[in-house]
Chain A
Amino acid sequence: METALPMGRWLRERLAHVTGPQLAGPLVPVVALLAAFVIGAMMLLALGANPLEGYQALFEGAFGDVDALADTALKSMPLLLVGVGICIAFRASVINIGGEGQMIAGAIVSTLVALGCGDLPRLILVPLVLIGGLVGGAIWGAIPGALKAYSGVNEILSTIMLNIVAVQLMNFLLRDLIMDPYEKDHGRLPQTQRLSENSDLPLLPGGTRLHIGILVAVGMAGLAYVLLWRTSLGYRIRAVGHSGAASRYAGMPVKRTIVAALTFSGAMCGLAGAILVFGSESHRFVTDGSSVGFTGSAGFNGIVTALFGGLHPLWTIPSSFFFGGLQFGANAMQRAVQVPAALIVGLNGLVVVFVVSSDRMRRAVSESWGQGREIASERSQQRDSDQTQVETREEAGS
Chain B
Amino acid sequence: MSDFFTMASLVFVVGSGIRLATPFLLAGLGETIGQRSGVLNLGVDGVMLLGAFGAYWTILETRSPVAGILVGIAVGLAMGLVYGVITVTMRAEQGISGIGIFLFGLGISDLLFQKKVGTPIPIRGFGDLHVPVLADIPKVGEMFFQHSVLVYVAFLLVPAVAFLLNRTTFGLNVRAVGENPAAADSLGVSVARVRYTTILLANGLAGLAGAVLAAELGIFQQNLTNGQGFIAIALVYFGAWRPVGVMGGALLFGMVSATVLQWKTLGLVSGAASSLTAMAPAVLTILALVVISRTVGQPSALTRPFDRGH
Show the binding face of A for B, using Cβ within 8 Å.
1-2, 5-6, 9, 43, 47, 95, 97, 147, 151-154, 156-158, 160-165, 168-169, 171-172, 175-176, 179, 290, 292, 297, 300-301, 303-304, 307, 339-340, 342-353, 356-359, 362, 391, 394-396, 398
In the complex, whether B131 has a CB less than 8 A from a CB of chain A is no
Question: For residue A396, which residues in chain B have a CB less than 8 angstroms away from its CB?
Answer: 304
Question: For residue B196, which residues in chain A have a CB less than 8 angstroms away from its CB?
Answer: none
User: Per a CB cutoff under 8 Å, which of B93, B100, B102, B227 touches A351?
Assistant: B100
Q: Compute how far the CA of A345 lies from the CA of B223 in the bound complex, rounded to whole angstroms.
A: 12
User: Per a CB cutoff under 8 Å, which of B40, B90, B108, B270 touches A342?
Assistant: B108
User: Per a CB cutoff under 8 Å, which of B108, B278, B283 touches A346?
Assistant: B108
CB–CB B107/A300 < 8 A: no
Interface membership of chain B positions 81-92, coded 1 if the CB is closer than 8 angstroms to chain A and 0 otherwise: 110011001111
User: Per a CB cutoff under 8 Å, which of B96, B101, B102, B294 touches A151?
Assistant: B294
Nearest first, the 6 closest Cβ-Cβ pairs linking A and B are A345-B107, A346-B107, A352-B100, A349-B104, A349-B103, A175-B272
Q: A346-B111, A362-B93 are in contact. Are A154 and B279 (CB under 8 A)?
A: no
Q: Which residue of B lies closest to A359 (CB)?
A: B91
Q: Which residue of A lies closest to B84 (CB)?
A: A2
Interface CB pairs A-B, < 8 A, 13: A47-B115, A151-B294, A157-B285, A160-B227, A160-B234, A161-B285, A162-B282, A168-B278, A172-B275, A179-B272, A290-B223, A349-B103, A356-B92
Shortest distance between the CB of B44 and any CB in chain A (Å): 11
Question: For residue A168, which residues in chain B have a CB less than 8 angstroms away from its CB?
Answer: 275-276, 278-279, 282
Q: Which residue of A lies closest to B108 (CB)?
A: A346
Q: Compute how far the CA of A97 lies from the CA of B98 in the bound complex, rounded to whole angstroms.
A: 11
Q: A151-B290, A356-B100 are in contact. Are A6 and B89 (CB under 8 A)?
A: yes
Q: Which residue of A lies closest to B291 (CB)?
A: A151
Q: A175-B271, A350-B104 are in contact. Are A5 and B86 (CB under 8 A)?
A: yes
In the complex, whether B310 has a CB less than 8 A from a CB of chain A is yes
In the complex, whether B230 has a CB less than 8 A from a CB of chain A is yes
Q: Which residue of B lies closest to A153 (CB)?
A: B289
**Could you tell me the dominant secondary structure of chain A's interface residues?**
helix
Known: A161-B289, A175-B275; 6 extra A-B contacts, CB below 8 A, are A95-B95, A97-B95, A152-B294, A290-B226, A307-B96, A349-B46
Q: Compute how far the CA of A343 lies from the CA of B273 in the bound complex, rounded to whole angstroms.
A: 36
Question: For residue B279, which residues in chain A have a CB less than 8 angstroms away from its CB?
Answer: 164-165, 168-169
Q: Compute how far the CA of A176 lies from the CA of B272 in the bound complex, rounded to whole angstroms.
A: 6
Q: Which residue of A lies closest to B46 (CB)?
A: A349
Question: For residue A152, which residues in chain B have a CB less than 8 angstroms away from its CB?
Answer: 293-294
Question: For residue B286, which residues in chain A have a CB less than 8 angstroms away from its CB?
Answer: 147, 153, 158, 161-162
CB–CB B114/A154 < 8 A: no
Question: For residue A169, which residues in chain B have a CB less than 8 angstroms away from its CB?
Answer: 275-276, 279
Question: For residue A304, which residues in chain B have a CB less than 8 angstroms away from its CB?
Answer: 103
CB–CB B85/A5 < 8 A: yes
Within 8 A of A (CB), among B94-136: 95-97, 99-108, 110-111, 114-115
Q: Compute how far the CA of A152 lies from the CA of B289 in the bound complex, rounded to whole angstroms.
A: 9
CB–CB A359/B105 < 8 A: no
Shortest distance between the CB of B40 and any CB in chain A (Å): 8
CB–CB A342/B289 < 8 A: no
Q: Compute how far the CA of A86 lies from the CA of B282 in the bound complex, rounded to whole angstroms.
A: 23
Q: Compute how far the CA of A362 lies from the CA of B272 in the bound complex, rounded to whole angstroms.
A: 45
Interface membership of chain B positions 213-228, coded 1 if the CB is closer than 8 angstroms to chain A and 0 otherwise: 0000000001100110
Shortest distance between the CB of A381 and any CB in chain B (Å): 19
Question: For residue B34, which residues in chain A have a CB less than 8 angstroms away from its CB?
Answer: none
In the complex, whether B305 has a CB less than 8 A from a CB of chain A is yes
Question: For residue A153, which residues in chain B have a CB less than 8 angstroms away from its CB?
Answer: 286, 289-290, 293
Shortest distance between the CB of B95 and any CB in chain A (Å): 5
Shortest distance between the CB of B250 and any CB in chain A (Å): 16
Question: For residue B293, which residues in chain A have a CB less than 8 angstroms away from its CB?
Answer: 151-154
Shortest distance between the CB of B52 and any CB in chain A (Å): 15
CB–CB A350/B275 < 8 A: no
CB–CB A303/B108 < 8 A: no
User: Per a CB cutoff under 8 Å, which of B85, B107, B233, B310 touches A160?
Assistant: B233
Q: Compute how far the CA of A156 lies from the CA of B231 in the bound complex, rounded to whole angstroms.
A: 12
Within 8 A of A (CB), among B200-245: 222-223, 226-227, 230-231, 233-234, 237
CB–CB B93/A2 < 8 A: no
Question: For residue A161, which residues in chain B have a CB less than 8 angstroms away from its CB?
Answer: 234, 282-283, 285-286, 289
Q: Compute how far the CA of A351 lies from the CA of B96 in the bound complex, rounded to whole angstroms.
A: 11
Q: Compute how far the CA of A162 lies from the CA of B108 in the bound complex, rounded to whole angstroms.
A: 26
Q: Compute how far the CA of A343 lies from the CA of B112 in the bound complex, rounded to whole angstroms.
A: 9
CB–CB A352/B93 < 8 A: no
Q: A151-B290, A161-B285, A345-B110 are in contact. Are A357 and B96 (CB under 8 A)?
A: no
CB–CB A97/B99 < 8 A: yes
Q: A161-B285, A172-B272 are in contact. Are A391 and B310 (CB under 8 A)?
A: yes
CB–CB A5/B100 < 8 A: no
Q: Which residue of A lies closest to B94 (CB)?
A: A356
Within 8 A of A (CB), among B231-276: 231, 233-234, 237, 270-273, 275-276
Question: For residue A340, which residues in chain B have a CB less than 8 angstroms away from its CB?
Answer: 110-111, 114-115
Q: Which residue of A lies closest to B103 (CB)?
A: A349
Q: Which residue of A lies closest to B111 (CB)?
A: A342
Q: Compute how far the CA of A4 lies from the CA of B300 in the bound complex, rounded to whole angstroms.
A: 31
